[in-house]
Amino acid sequence: MTDSLIATLAARLGPAHVLTDATDLAPHLAETRGLYRGEALAVLRPRDTAEVAFAVRACAEARVPVVAHGGNTGLVGGGVPFGGVVISLARLDRVRAVDPLDATITVEAGCVLASVQAAADAAGMLFPLSLASEGSCRIGGNLATNAGGTAVLAYGNARELTLGLEVVLADGQVWNGLRALRKDNSGYDLKNLFVGSEGTLGIITAAVLRLHPKPASKATAFLGLASARAALDAFGALRARLGPRLTAFEYVPRFPLEVVLRHLPGAVRPLEGDHPSYALVEVSSPAPDADEELEARLGELIESGLVADATLARSEAQAAALWRLRESLSEMQGHEGGSIKHDVSVPVSRVAEFLERATEACEAAMPGVRVCPFGHFGDGNIHFNLTQPVGAEKAAFLAEWPRFNRIVHDIVHAMDGSIAAEHGVGLIKRDELPRYKDPVALDLMRRLKGALDPHGLLNPGKVLAAEGAPEAFPARGGAAARSGTAA
């Protein structure tokens, strides 16, 4: 049965694009953090939507599960196959159209995010989705996980940037919803069902995305703040004055800043003196006035006492250096030992309260633990990370991950937040969902899954549990496997 399926696929896709060799499969069986290792019959590399549809139909007829892969940069184990085939979208990498007047770009799922940004830029427009892995993640994966990143404050998540989709359904049918319309109420909203469904309801093969006018000027500043509360007040004041021109408000407390200054080659302290909290602020303007605008606002904030000190980047190089500090936080944290991570969100108005409560609870739970939170403060989205106590044993620390999950997620839940803010559910948070999610919502999700994928062949066991699917957490190999990664 399997041999016949592989032969059928090889005949259509070409033998060179049906990989079965262990070496070829390897990169598709693990994920970035090394938390899971799966297995697959084959990795398919179709070249277009018709080939994806053919492959999915053939697999559906053989009742063989299918896991879609973009850049395989996900952080929740959502792309790890446990049997079945992997369909890599990497060869569907054409930019089909760019229309500046329409402010849209039509791309195939395998386009690397940075190349989508570049194509928009070449047309004089901005595709604002931006995240650390943009050089290797692919837009299909960004859409399948409803990616967030640093530009959500002004431009929204991947969802808000999506106007239309082309999707291969579980039975191999193709839904062509590639429409570039700002207003369309001709029936149920199908596209938002697939965006963020992590490959469990359909496989996105192409999309029409929204572009924005390129700002005429940008300004970047680094703020010293007395506390998370002060950061929230400063954020509120800036947003009230700047409206949609406030395009980033990233939060960095003292400890993560010290970590990155200690370990990042060439890093320079951005602000003299020592502050409990910092924020990286960016203003974008359609006029050439971003610098003077931000300078004026910072002056007001310092005068009113909301901000203790601030520095404005005086060149693109200085701005890039500030962003490099922010973007290196996750990687540099690894130099301090084991790291336990939570990607959570709360209502923006409660983000300071969340930071206080979660910090206190984690420090009480493990003396010496170094709370290392940072992130997209203006979206209420904090990467609430914990660095091991100095001198602790890394594996033993990482074994405490489930205990800290309970502490942090309980607080998030009590504050009407989300335990899966921008990285998705995948495998790692799948079994946390039934604990925190409204049972009616879970029931609706199961009904939708049943309606769109009745045989449970699309990325089985991700987001929702499935019979025979792998254990979610602790991962295969437990703490030992987890300790092998920079996490």
| Binding to a copy of itself, residues 288-307 (CB under 8 A) | 293
Asked if 71 interacts with a copy of itself (CB under 8 A), we say no
DSSP H helices in 385-427: 394-398, 401-414
**Which residue in the set 104, 205, 330, 333 belongs to the binding site for a copy of itself (CB under 8 A)?**
104
Asked if 175 interacts with a copy of itself (CB under 8 A), we say yes
Bridge partners for 373 per DSSP: 384
- Considering only residues 249-268, where is the footprint of a copy of itself by CB under 8 A? none
**Which residue in the set 13, 95, 131, 419 belongs to the binding site for a copy of itself (CB under 8 A)?**
419
Scanning 87-95, 127-135, 310-318, 423-431 for contacts with a copy of itself by CB under 8 A, the matching segment is 423-431
Rounded Cα–Cα distance for residues 373 and 404 (Å): 14
CB atoms within 10 A of CB 272: 9
Task: CB nearer to a copy of itself: give 5 or 80.
Answer: 80
Asked if 427 interacts with a copy of itself (CB under 8 A), we say no
Q: CA-CA distances (angstroms) from residue 380 to 134, 301, 330?
A: 22, 21, 18
381 neighbors 375 (Cβ within 8 angstroms): yes
**Segment (H or E) for 114:** helix 113-122
Q: Residues near 156 by Cβ (< 8 Å), separated by ≥ 6?
A: none
Closest distance of CB 62 from a copy of itself, Å: 22
Scanning 62-70, 307-315, 397-405, 425-433 for contacts with a copy of itself by CB under 8 A, the matching segment is 425-433
Site string for a copy of itself, 137-166 (x = CB under 8 A): --------xx-x---xx--xx-xx------
Position 482: which residue type? R
Task: CB nearer to a copy of itself: give 41 or 103.
Answer: 103
Task: CB nearer to a copy of itself: give 132 or 261.
Answer: 132
Asked if 193 interacts with a copy of itself (CB under 8 A), we say yes
Asked if 244 interacts with a copy of itself (CB under 8 A), we say yes
Residue 233 DSSP SS3: helix
Rounded Cα–Cα distance for residues 382 and 300 (Å): 27
Task: CB nearer to a copy of itself: give 40 or 68.
Answer: 68
**Which residue in the set 142, 381, 405, 483 belongs to the binding site for a copy of itself (CB under 8 A)?**
381
Q: Residues near 118 by Cβ (< 8 Å), separated by ≥ 6?
A: none
Closest distance of CB 161 from a copy of itself, Å: 11
In degrees and rounded to multiples of 5, residue 420 shows phi and psi of: -135, 90
Asked if 195 interacts with a copy of itself (CB under 8 A), we say yes
Q: Which of 46, 430, 411 is nearest to 420 (CA)?
A: 430
Asked if 212 interacts with a copy of itself (CB under 8 A), we say yes
103 neighbors 212 (Cβ within 8 angstroms): yes
CB atoms within 10 A of CB 417: 22
- Considering only residues 224-243, where is the footprint of a copy of itself by CB under 8 A? 232, 236, 239-243
Rounded Cα–Cα distance for residues 141 and 461 (Å): 18
- Considering only residues 452-471, where is the footprint of a copy of itself by CB under 8 A? 452, 463
Asked if 181 interacts with a copy of itself (CB under 8 A), we say yes
